[in-house]
A and B are shown apart, each in its own frame.
Chain A
Amino acid sequence: MRSKKKSASISKECVACGCCVKSCLLGALSVYRGMYALVDEHKCAGCGKCADVCPAQVISVAAREAAQC
């Protein structure tokens, strides 16, 4: 069973600017091939810092189970 840990998730309107990557001190974010940002949910602590800086407002932080694909 999975724990209900919070985690960031990124929608497809990401502009790949990379602001979120710099903001995450846990190194949970990366920009994949210049197309969009990806969250490594094993590293993400759900602090929401990336969502605060994202200028395109495409990051939401929610309990991991609710954010399942």
Chain B
Amino acid sequence: MLKQQKHWYDYLWIASAVYLTLGFFNILFAWLGLICFITPLLIAIVKGNKSYCNRFCGRGQLFELLGYRLGLSRRKAPPKFLCSSWFRYGFLAFFMTMFFVMLYATCLVFVGATLNEAVTLLWVFKLPWNWVDTSFVAPWMAQFAFGFYGVMLTSTVLGMLTMLLFKPRSWCVYCPMGTMTQGICQIKHRKENPNETPNKGNCRTAEGSCQ
């Protein structure tokens, strides 16, 4: 039977799992998450493709592993609204707004406000997270770590939920990074007429899709 060849980047799910675990030991590891934020954007802006999503994203791989290999997913089609543009771009806008609110909180601490040692989950629930000493770094650096870890944890929890309920990688449909990188690629290649793409016998106008 044919089998897909394994590459080094097929194991990046380990990095994703380790990242989430490290945050429980020391919140300052949250800073490492910036890699998963900046790399996809840089690839999309410079190279004009989504090779981050298509190859390197450990989070997508983690959902695949849990959903297919461990069989945790119901593997049902996600509701149609989830894949609609308005929901995807709406969620991106909401996510970015919350991201800037988090940056604002970091700035406030930078100018003298007191550090809030909590990780906010799903934008509402404040989890106390004060078992690690962060006094050896500037308070704003710790505040950013708490905020950013909250963003990462929230997106993981949402992704896990949709992994369980629908198809394993349902998160990829409304993942803000995925939407953003696709948007950047579309803007970058906007001059291309979709009907004139290298015709490999493709047909992108099938019916019965998520409208």
Q: Report A's interface with B, CB cutoff 8 A.
A: 9-19, 21-22, 25-26, 31-36, 38-42, 52-60, 62, 67-69
Contacts and interface: CB of A to CB of B under 8 A. Distances in A.
A16 to B, nearest CB: 5
Interface of B: 2-4, 44, 48-51, 53-55, 60, 64, 75, 77-78, 80, 83-85, 88, 166-173, 178-179, 181-182, 184-186, 188-189, 192, 194, 197-198, 200-211
B200 A19 contact: no
A35 B203 contact: no
A40 B78 contact: no
Contacts of B182: 15-16, 34-35
B77 A41 contact: no
Contacts of B210: 11, 13, 56-58
B48 A33 contact: yes
B202 to A, nearest CB: 4
Contacts of B201: 39-42
A22 B172 contact: no
Given A17-B169, A55-B167, A41 B50 contact: no
A38 B178 contact: no
Given A16-B182, A33-B189, A55 B49 contact: no
Given A34-B51, A39-B202, 18 more contacts: A9-B206, A10-B202, A13-B83, A13-B84, A16-B54, A17-B54, A18-B50, A25-B4, A33-B185, A33-B192, A38-B204, A39-B200, A53-B167, A53-B168, A55-B83, A55-B173, A57-B80, A60-B209
